[in-house]
Structure 1
Amino acid sequence: MNNHPIGIFDSGIGGLSIWKEIHSLMPYEKTIYLADSINAPYGQKTKQEIVELCIKNTEFLISKGCKIIVVACNTATTNAITYLRDNYSVPFIGIEPAIKPAALQTKTKAIGVLATKGTLSSELFHSTSEMYAEDIHIVEQIGAGLVELIESGNLLSKELDELLESYMQPMLANNIDYLVLGCTHYPLLIPKLKNILPKDVKIIDSGEAVARQTLKVLKAKNLTANDSIEMLNDNYLFYNNKEVEIMKSILDNKYQISFLKF
């Protein structure tokens, strides 16, 4: 048994969609979540910039005693996970767009992928697409502006609605029946997407699969916590280096969130 925390980092608040899945599956595990909101979005940065930010995030979580680190950001995973695994002994769990299940299940042979520029241009995204979707038409769409609006708390804005509708139009024109969300911020937009998309278009994100993979690795390395540990809100720590109020609203003000000068 190992009662050290699971570390989770993202370019901002989007990775909370991953934290919620991990917490739901393993409520007895302590967690430390780091939101690097001051540098969001990562998707518009160079590979080297992304790697440097991921190093900084990783070293902070290691300094807090984290036993495993979940890179709760598609862009960070696709650009930096190899470097992190090569240079740190702590296990890493990465995230990438769920191309495989969409490609295997599509009936129309057309799927949409909504992601950041950093994810769509990465080697990992292209290799995954080639492996699982060789005969599938993938309609790629960079979600420019979405992360910024989410990070600023503008989930109800008309600008966000208009952006989403414009991004979905070419996908619907190509008869997609699966929409893959390639950014951990985007599950926060699922209610809006369901209002835009026909009911027969299924939306896929990676959160549940990431939680299951995290548990699998913890078990394989004998790092799971004692599942009889008392579930206290103090077991779940959140850090943000920009705004804490938006983060609090997403977490329903249930948990302590600390501002981190980082």
Structure 2
Amino acid sequence: MNTSMQPIGLFDSGVGGTSIWKEIHTLLPNEATLYLADSKNAPYGQKSKEEILHLSIKNTELLLNQNCKLIVVACNTATTNAIKELREKYDVPFIGIEPAIKPAALQTKTHTIGILATKGTLNSVLFHKTVSSYTNLNIIEQVGHGLVQLIEEGKLGGSEIDKLLQTYLKPMMQANIDCLVLGCSHYPYLIPQIQKILPKEVKIIDSGLAVAKQTKTILEKYGMLNKTIAKQKQLFYTNAKPNALATLLGNKYTILEKDF
């Protein structure tokens, strides 16, 4: 069966994974996509591994029921807590997203990097396994308490987010980081505010482009790349707060609110 015309599925604990979707859509404009924003259950970062796995299975099955040929887990917390089980359970390629520690390790000159992520990501077995291989680095971990909730409410600027970012980033600057890894797909939307706080020599690193490139690689590997030039559908489903999704997408795409 020719699967190339089937959509790429993506899911996240809300709207943040659209930062990943944008990179994929830019690199692969001929691909149809279907995005699930599980905003009703955001944030995943405060939930148990069992809850995260349950929600990830629910989202995966919704996407598979829509004939998605590949699934991007556009959520660091879901990737680090559930992707192993998803790959074992379903016969479809999965692309995950993890904090980009390796690029930071290759670029740092001070050997000190900061990681801003959710509690669920920083506490995960996969994250600890990754970090343990970088014994030569001083890694400053910080949970971004409250940031996802504010982004889900469409508050991308203003004093609330600025105050939280100042609190989280100040100890990192004092520790002399020269790379900041954004370990949550929501956080790239905060880059303009982060840049105002950090010294300009600190590199801000997220995983979006790397995920897009890996998606293309896997589609090519399995012969699923859509090589037509016809315009494809870009669909977005959300179970809460459709206005936040519309704000981030610029009201250019079809957003459907449904219960899932």
Residue 32 of structure 1: SS of its match in structure 2? Answer: strand
> Structure 1: how far apart are the matches of 2:96 and 2:228?
24
1:231 aligns with 2:205: no
Partner AA of 1:231 in structure 2: K
> Structure 1: how far apart are the matches of 2:151 and 2:88?
32
2:27 aligned residue (17, 22, 25):
25
Shift of 1:157: 2.7
Q: Counterparts of 1:145-224 in structure 2 under 5 Å?
A: 145-224=146-225
Partner AA of 1:221 in structure 2: Y
Partner AA of 1:136 in structure 2: L
2:87 paired residue number: 85
Deviations 1:231-250 (A, max 9, x none): 25xx1000000011111111
Contact 2:180/2:203 (CA < 8 Å) preserved in 1?
Answer: yes
Deviations 1:36-88 (A, max 9, x none): 00000000000000000000000000000000000000000000000000000
Partner AA of 1:211 in structure 2: A
Shift of 1:33: 0.3
1:256 aligns with 2:254: yes
Shift of 1:156: 2.0
1:128 aligns with 2:127: no
1:105 paired residue number: 107
Contact 2:157/2:193 (CA < 8 Å) preserved in 1?
Answer: no
Residue 215 of structure 1: SS of its match in structure 2? Answer: helix
> Structure 2: how far apart are the matches of 1:200 and 1:249?
30
Shift of 1:188: 0.2
> Structure 2: how far apart are the matches of 1:227 and 1:18?
22
Shift of 1:129: 1.1
Q: TM-score, normalised by structure 1?
A: 0.97
**Displacement over 4 Å in runs of 4+:** none
Residue 253 of structure 1: SS of its match in structure 2? Answer: coil
Give me the CA root mean square deviation: 0.8
1:245 aligns with 2:247: no
Shift of 1:142: 0.2
Identity across matched positions, percent: 59
Shift of 1:227: 3.3
Residue 180 of structure 2: SS of its match in structure 1? Answer: strand
Partner AA of 1:253 in structure 2: N
Q: Pick which of 156-165 and 36-45 moved more.
A: 156-165
5+ residue gaps, structure 1, are none
Residue 204 of structure 2: SS of its match in structure 1? Answer: strand
Shift of 1:30: 0.2
5+ residue gaps, structure 2, are none
Shift of 1:226: 2.3
Q: Counterparts of 1:65-80 in structure 2 under 5 Å?
A: 65-80=67-82
Shift of 1:105: 1.4
Shift of 1:134: 1.1
Q: TM-score, normalised by structure 2?
A: 0.98
> Structure 1: how far apart are the matches of 2:258 and 2:19?
21
Partner AA of 1:32 in structure 2: L
